């Protein structure tokens, strides 16, 4: 399998059990080794007490893109810490796109930068995630015995 | 109105329009000036591709507690940036408690520290939010003339 | 004055009183609106208890580049918060280069990303600074009437 | 050796080779398992282009306190990432005190919170460090063969 095939198979496998991202209406629109693009529309249920999208849902979208990007090499990897800078509010009906890029990967630790923008290309948030590799893989990449 | 009365009235007002926190099943269990405690049960829909609670929902809970704490003085305040450290996974069925405390407030900028723990008292995450005061209040605190 | 001329004049003016950066042996090697590149050699006095460069000096270098970049528009601007990810150690004798880029600027708040690399191009640290504009300018840009 | 004796011996050993902290005029004033208090006077050489203490030196002080606290258990530990919030400027002549406390330690990763205050008790900065344990110890704690 190529790196690209592995990345696609990993995300398919993760997606099946990722009820959180499914229920939030996310869609994975691009995937590559160390890279993921995920989209989500802000629903009326995501609005907070200031009548804008609750920052937690912007974080959810960025965090999912981060998770797909950092697991795309097929080594099980979790978030150790994340930071998010809110640049502009998002509103109900906005179509948000999160693009996650691997900016560093050394041994078991990686850094991923995610930009969240709306349908007009306005940047809504910057997110930086630090990943930590744990034991295990997401998918099996060898065909096994004799096949 | 006392600071405590203001804090309670502000959170009541915010809560009414905070569909996000309502739909996630949160409950505000304590409120005081510069302080909020919010609870949420991890539902089956909050589970991610690693079979643990999607970090975004842990963030949502912490962020709501932060929002109630930083608006509790009745000056409209938004999140500028947040960081979260994930200490232990949360699982479907866990009852999470987020406790937000004001650790600094100077002019228009504040720092709030939020600890998220589960029903056993195990700490799940630390969250630090930087708030920025914008224009306006949440509630009216004077009765006005002639009323 | 063009934006480039302003940026250069601002950094010259800041540099004169910036004893900290001078004493640490820094040198500003490029400047542009919203951009700064600063270099520093790790001296024997910058070594910590692990025989590597104390992270604080890597931070100092990144922070100076951030300060020059965020003040380059001639609006007095200070650091509100910073985060740094250490990717690889630096050693005595290493020549470090910090490159600061403006990634967002809205009203009084900006986000700047700084990469610190060594003489081999290995990345030593990522730094993200959040700036806050305060009152005043660094230099006078108009000659005034009759002078 | 007790935990307290180990902590003191580790910091003595680290201090001997920590030229950076020595040259900056720091002094370790308290040490305990998972805890360190370090002091430093802001010298005239630490002043930046805004005539206040360069944030990098405030960071240096906090980072040293963090390093002593996270190594105090005698497992060699380095900084993975740090964030700092600047609350108030420091000035030449100020006596700064950094107090580092262990807020979480799990497997090879720890979280340490450091508060930096001046001689009047005003808080100058909050610092949060994430530590990563690497191989090796700082001191030998067993007496060896028969000696």
The reply to whether residue C126 touches residue A106, judged by beta carbons under 8 angstroms, is no
CA Rg value for chain D: 16
Chains that touch B (3 or more CB pairs under 8 A): A, C, D
The reply to whether residue B106 touches residue D126, judged by beta carbons under 8 angstroms, is no
Chains that touch D (3 or more CB pairs under 8 A): A, B, C
D112, D73 in Cβ contact below 8 A? Answer: no
Nearest residue to D50 (alpha-carbon basis) of C17, C135, C82, C136:
C17
pLDDT digits (tens, 9 = 90+) for C88-144: 999 999 999 999 999 999 888 999 999 999 999 999 999 999 999 999 999 998 754
Q: Give strand ranges (E) for chain D.
A: 27-32, 35-41, 77-86, 95-106, 109-117, 123-133
Select from B103, B105, B109, B110 the residue whose CB has the most chain D CBs within 10 Å, as the one to mutate to test that interface.
Answer: B103
pLDDT of residue C28 exceeding 50, the answer is: yes
Alpha helices in chain B (DSSP H): 3-17, 19-23, 55-71
Gap between the Cα atoms of A95 and C136, Å rounded:
39
Residue B82: enclosing H or E segment and its boundaries? strand B77-86
Q: Could you tell me the two tokens for C97?
A: 């280069």
pLDDT of residue B14 exceeding 50, the answer is: yes
Gap between the Cα atoms of B74 and B91, Å rounded:
35
State the pLDDT at residue D143: 52
The reply to whether residue B55 touches residue A82, judged by beta carbons under 8 angstroms, is yes
pLDDT of residue D70 exceeding 70, the answer is: yes
Gap between the Cα atoms of C117 and A20, Å rounded:
38
The reply to whether residue B81 touches residue C130, judged by beta carbons under 8 angstroms, is yes
Higher pLDDT, C52 or B51: C52
Smallest CA–CA distance from D82 into chain A, residue: A81
> What are the C-alpha distances in Å from D12 to residues B108, C86, D59, D101?
43, 25, 21, 19
pLDDT band at A107 (very low <50, low <70, confident <90, very high): confident
ipTM (interface predicted TM): 0.92
* B31 burial via Cβ count (<10 Å: 0-12, 13-18, 19+): buried
The verdict on pTM exceeding 0.90 is yes
What does the pLDDT average to over D10-25?
Answer: 95
pLDDT band at C46 (very low <50, low <70, confident <90, very high): very high
Q: Which residues of A touch D (CB under 8 A)?
A: 80-81, 83, 109, 130, 132
The reply to whether residue D83 touches residue C83, judged by beta carbons under 8 angstroms, is yes
Smallest CA–CA distance from A132 into chain B, residue: B86
Nearest residue to B56 (alpha-carbon basis) of A23, A20, A110, A90:
A20
Gap between the Cα atoms of C68 and C37, Å rounded:
9
Gap between the Cα atoms of A95 and A121, Å rounded:
10
What does the pLDDT average to over B46-74?
Answer: 94
State the pLDDT at residue B143: 52
Residues 6+ away with beta carbon under 8 Å from C145: none
pLDDT digits (tens, 9 = 90+) for D90-115: 999 999 999 999 999 988 899 999 99
C42, C90 in Cβ contact below 8 A? Answer: yes
Phi and psi at residue D108, in whole multiples of 5°? -100, 5
* D90 burial via Cβ count (<10 Å: 0-12, 13-18, 19+): buried
pLDDT of residue B147 exceeding 50, the answer is: no
Q: Domains of chain D (ranges plus CATH)?
A: 3-133 (3.10.129.10)
The reply to whether residue A60 touches residue B60, judged by beta carbons under 8 angstroms, is yes
Q: Å from A26 to nearest chain D CA?
A: 30
Phi and psi at residue B27, in whole multiples of 5°? -140, 130
Q: Which residues of C touch D135 (CB under 8 A)?
A: none
State the pLDDT at residue A19: 94
């Amino acid at each position: 399998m190529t790196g690209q095939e592995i990345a696609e198979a990993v995300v398919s496998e993760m997606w099946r059990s990722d009820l959180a991202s499914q229920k939030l209406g996310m869609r994975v629109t691009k995937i590559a080794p160390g890279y993921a693009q995920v989209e989500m529309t802000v629903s009326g249920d995501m609005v907070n007490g200031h009548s804008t999208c609750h920052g937690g849902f912007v974080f959810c979208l960025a965090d999912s893109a981060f998770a797909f990007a950092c697991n795309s090499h097929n080594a099980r990897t979790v978030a150790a810490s994340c930071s998010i800078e809110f640049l502009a509010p998002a509103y109900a009906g906005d179509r948000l796109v999160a693009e996650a890029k691997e900016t560093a990967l050394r041994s078991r630790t990686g850094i991923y930068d995610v930009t969240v923008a709306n349908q007009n290309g306005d940047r809504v948030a910057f997110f930086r995630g630090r990943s930590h590799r744990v034991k295990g893989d997401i998918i099996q990449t060898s065909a096994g015995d004799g096949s």
